[in-house]
Amino acid sequence: MKRATLLVSLFLLLYPRLFGEPVIGIYSAYEETLYGAARDRRGVLWFSLEDFHASESLDVSGDGILTAVTVAKGIRDDLLNLVEEGGRWSRDGVTLTRYRKNGRDLFSLHYLPPDLRFTFSLEKPGDPVYDVIDLIYPARQDAAAEVKAHYSDNYVVRIHQAENVLEPEKNRVDFGEALLAATVLGEPFQHLLGIRDGYDLLGNIGYLVLEQNYKKPLGMQYRPLAAHEDDINLFLMKLEEMEGDSEENLYKLAAASFQLNPPGEQLQLPEYFIRTMRGDSFDMAFFLYDILRRLDREVRFLAVASLDGLTEAEGAVVYRDGDSWRFMDYLGLYAPASPDWTRLPALVHEVTMLYREIDLTEFIETQALPNPREGDWKKSVY
């Protein structure tokens, strides 16, 4: 079967994790003269936060190491408001201190676990960074202009202290380790080719502050959560802060963390699924359904299968977008739209399909999770 064109491509499944075991990557062919950008993007060095246990935090010589990793524009203001000069802030294993050095506001971050210590500053990019953008996009002035506009609106990371995680036996921090530290701090969607997406630790700290001051539940409370309300609220806050279409952002944020497991016999509740973001296609679809409901969208939860029954049934959702309906599953948000939602499984797969709607009404009332693969099937005609 041929899938219709994805609006959000499958490579998002490789993005750094936002929940569960975090994975951070930098290109192995990073170039120091390009502030960490890599023209050869074939190899990636992967790390988890656990890898920092065996490393030592060391100062960087001179005025620090500048990188082309970006941080969202509001983060610096939030940090300046959160921590007074010479002051200290601490919550949930995160400690931040702020001081001045060489005319810069420096922030020292201590994160437990895994005993992670960075010192960094944030600054507006200068001409050398813009020259790198021109070098990366030599024949695409429109793309270069778009990337420059993003850099102009935001900040880049300069590292003053980092962990010697690449080569712990050396008593110094090299550029790669500074780049890795910046990537841990950087925003989750980096615009410059050759700079991998960040773990967004600074953004997560910002949400801790919001969560600390936000007492009421977020989103439409169509059903009570059995557990982990803070995790669902944090996800909704991240979604609210993202620019653009909420449904596209929902897929990006969920797919960035999702790991596909073999089919299970029972659905996971979204509030448990969010703790690991690991499950089968129905678990992901149930999570998408749940968040869309909390965003007050009209949405239906589907099982979709091939007409010949030779392929495993998969979970999906359809939601109303104006006068039409759209289709989303663990692989993406798809281009076809239709005023008749029952046609979307066929339009997306470009062949007649079987589908069934999974009615969660009884589950919401009784907490008895249905088996998504059992029930009467209907045809979605191509």
Using alpha carbons only, how large is the chain's radius of gyration in Å? 23
Q: Which of 69-78, 177-186, 208-217 has the highest mean pLDDT?
A: 177-186
Distances (CA, A) of 272 to 137, 231, 233, 277, 290: 43, 9, 13, 9, 12
Q: Let me know: does 87 contact 98? Beta carbons within 8 Å.
A: yes
- Predicted confidence (pLDDT) per residue in 141-194, tens digit: 899 999 999 999 999 999 999 999 998 888 889 999 999 999 999 998 899 999
Quick check: 297 and 320 in contact, CB under 8 A? yes
Over the chain, what is the mean pLDDT? 84
Which carries the bigger pLDDT value, residue 86 or residue 316?
316
Closest to 71 in 3D by CA, of 229, 183, 220: 183
| Angle at alpha carbon of residue 205, lines to 25 and 105, rounded to 5° | 90
* Cβ contact 39:27 at 8 Å: no
The confidence score (pLDDT) of residue 41 equals: 92
Domain spans in the chain, listed from the N-terminal domain onward: 23-192, 229-380
Q: Identify the band that residue 216 occupies on the pLDDT scale cut at 50, 70 and 90.
A: very low
Question: How far apart (Å, rounded) are the C-alpha atoms in residues 167 and 360?
Answer: 52
Kindly state the tokens that stand for 252: 């990006």
Beta pairing partners, 338: 325
Mean pLDDT lowest among 233-247, 324-338, 357-371: 357-371
Residue length, the chain?
382
Reduced to 3 states, what is the DSSP secondary structure of residue 110?
A: strand
Q: How far apart are CA 382 and CA 380, in angstroms?
A: 7
Which whole number is the average pLDDT over 43-61?
87
Q: Are 223 and 364 spatial neighbours (Cβ–Cβ below 8 Å)?
A: yes
Q: How many CA atoms lie within 13 A of 175 on its CB side?
A: 15
pLDDT of residue 214: 45
Name the band, by pLDDT with cuts 50, 70 and 90, for residue 9. very low
Inter-axis angle of helices 229-241 and 281-294, nearest 10: 70
pLDDT score for 13? 29
Cβ–Cβ contacts within 10 Å for residue 191, how many? 18
Residues above pLDDT 70, as percent of the chain:
86
CATH label, 229-380, candidates 3.10.620, 1.10.287, 1.10.3110, 3.30.1380: 3.10.620
Distance, in Å, from the CA atom of 329 to the CA atom of 365, rounded to the nearest integer, reads 25
Comparing 1 with 242, the larger pLDDT belongs to 242
